[in-house]
């Protein structure tokens, strides 16, 4: 699809069924979920929540980047977040090769050299997850009492395993 008409057609259908829930920007359950951009992941349903309960932050590989930390500052101080779940998943493309391999695959597929940016691939998801949790817990601009937990989501079974 070279244009975006399908999105607006879909939105017309959405509007027909839409019922405002009078939600605010606050995270009613005090939770932020950092997860992957993978479309197989429905973060609110995975943890038994609904719209308005949590803030959802997504990127390739569910990594705690500088932008994620920036967003957590806003969420913690302005939007009611006091808990953070970092939730990478099984069968993740960002865990399927080294940084160099992914850069080479992009170059081979497109001719574009991406080595000037960090992709943040992982060869050990559990180790990377633990490092990301330490980034949150040690970040000086976040509240000292913010809680962080890591869990890996299994895309085949739906199970969330605490790390």
Question: What is the rounded distance in angstroms from the CA atom of residue 72 to the CA atom of residue 112?
Answer: 32
Reply yes or no on whether the pLDDT at 116 is more than 80: yes
User: Considering the domain boundaries, does residue 126 fall inside one?
Assistant: yes
User: Considering the domain boundaries, does residue 65 fall inside one?
Assistant: yes
User: Considering the domain boundaries, does residue 106 fall inside one?
Assistant: yes
User: Considering the domain boundaries, does residue 108 fall inside one?
Assistant: yes
Mean pLDDT, rounded, for 31-57: 98
User: Considering the domain boundaries, does residue 51 fall inside one?
Assistant: yes
Any idea what the CATH number is for the domain that residue 50 is in? Answer: 3.40.1050.10
Look up the domain containing 91 and give its range: 24-162
User: Considering the domain boundaries, does residue 157 fall inside one?
Assistant: yes
Mean pLDDT, rounded, for 50-57: 97
- The whole-model pTM stands at 0.93
Question: What is the rounded distance in angstroms from the CA atom of residue 44 to the CA atom of residue 40?
Answer: 12
Reply yes or no on whether the pLDDT at 29 is more than 90: yes
User: Considering the domain boundaries, does residue 78 fall inside one?
Assistant: yes
Q: What is the pLDDT of residue 2?
A: 66
**What is the number of structural domains in the chain?**
1
* Residue 5 pLDDT level (bands cut at 50, 70, 90): very high
Inter-axis angle of helices 66-78 and 125-138, nearest 10:
50
Reply yes or no on whether the pLDDT at 44 is more than 60: yes
Closest CA to 28 of 81, 71, 77, 83: 81
């Amino acid at each position: 699809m070279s244009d975006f008409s399908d999105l607006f057609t879909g939105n017309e259908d959405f509007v027909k069924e839409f019922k405002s829930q009078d939600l605010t920007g606050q995270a009613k359950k005090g939770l932020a979920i950092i997860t992957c951009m993978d479309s197989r992941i429905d973060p609110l349903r995975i943890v038994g929540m609904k719209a308005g309960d949590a803030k959802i932050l997504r990127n390739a590989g569910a990594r705690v980047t500088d932008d994620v930390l920036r967003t957590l500052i806003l969420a913690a101080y302005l939007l009611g977040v006091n808990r953070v779940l970092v939730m990478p998943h099984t069968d993740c493309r960002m865990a399927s090769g080294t940084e160099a391999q992914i850069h080479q695959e992009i170059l081979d597929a497109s001719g574009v050299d991406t080595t000037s940016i960090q992709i943040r691939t992982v060869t050990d998801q559990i180790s990377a997850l633990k490092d990301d949790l330490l980034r949150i817990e040690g970040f000086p601009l976040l509240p000292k009492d913010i809680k962080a937990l890591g869990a890996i989501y299994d895309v085949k079974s739906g199970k969330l395993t605490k790390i």
